[in-house]
Amino acid sequence: MDPVIYNGQKQELEFHVFPVSGQILQGLISGVYKGIVIFDQGSSGINNHFWSKESGNGPMLWCYSQEVHAEGKRTAAICNVAAFPNPFNPTTTLQFARPVSSAGIMIFNMSGKVVGNFNNITGSRFEWNTANLPSGTYIAKLTSNNQNQAIKLMLQK
């Protein structure tokens, strides 16, 4: 399934500051929201847009990165991170579209608290064991080569 690109008017979007509450998740579950867009522009001037769409083995978050060069040319890269199984108990595997080197993964609970921080990850997979965490929704953020990608994870004990 291809990522969905939003082309509507700005007033059709709702604005939320992170860390978000469960309001967004409830909106996705109830059908009020059809997906989410996360926009981040770092000090490098690179725009990162994240689209969430249910597909395949579970929730998948597509990452779109677009850079505008001084001469006006644009380059874009699309990558994805999938988790399986998802929902899971007690372990899940994050699968990267392409192998990473020296990557980092931070895992947040829905209050924004970091519950896991892993560094120097290499390869195309990462297994997360949640033996000491309660059931709930978590966000895993992968950082590699100045790109951030995230995915929603559902732990059900």
CATH number at residue 64: 2.60.40.3080
Say what the pTM is: 0.54
Quick check: is 144 in a domain?
yes
**Which residues form the domain of 52?**
10-155
- pLDDT tens, position by position, for the chain (157 residues)? 333 444 433 334 444 444 444 555 565 556 555 555 555 444 444 544 444 444 333 344 444 344 434 444 443 343 567 889 999 999 999 988 778 888 899 999 988 899 999 999 998 899 999 989 999 999 998 888 777 778 889 999 8
Quick check: is 2 in a domain?
no
Q: How many domains does the chain have?
A: 1
Burial class (CB in 10 A: 0-12, 13-18, 19+), 148: middle
Quick check: is 3 in a domain?
no
Quick check: is 118 in a domain?
yes
Nearest residue to 19 (alpha-carbon basis) of 110, 92, 86, 150: 110
Residues whose CB falls within 8 Å of the CB of residue 106, separated by 6 or more in sequence, listed in order: 114, 116, 117, 118, 140, 141, 143
Quick check: is 142 in a domain?
yes
Quick check: is 5 in a domain?
no
Quick check: is 69 in a domain?
yes
Nearest residue to 151 (alpha-carbon basis) of 91, 99, 101, 105: 105
Burial class (CB in 10 A: 0-12, 13-18, 19+), 38: middle
Distance of alpha carbon 92 from alpha carbon 155, whole angstroms: 9
Quick check: is 27 in a domain?
yes
How far is residue 67 CA from its own chain's centroid? Answer: 19
Residue 54 vs residues 58, 62, 86, 120, 151: alpha-carbon distances, Å: 6, 10, 11, 29, 11
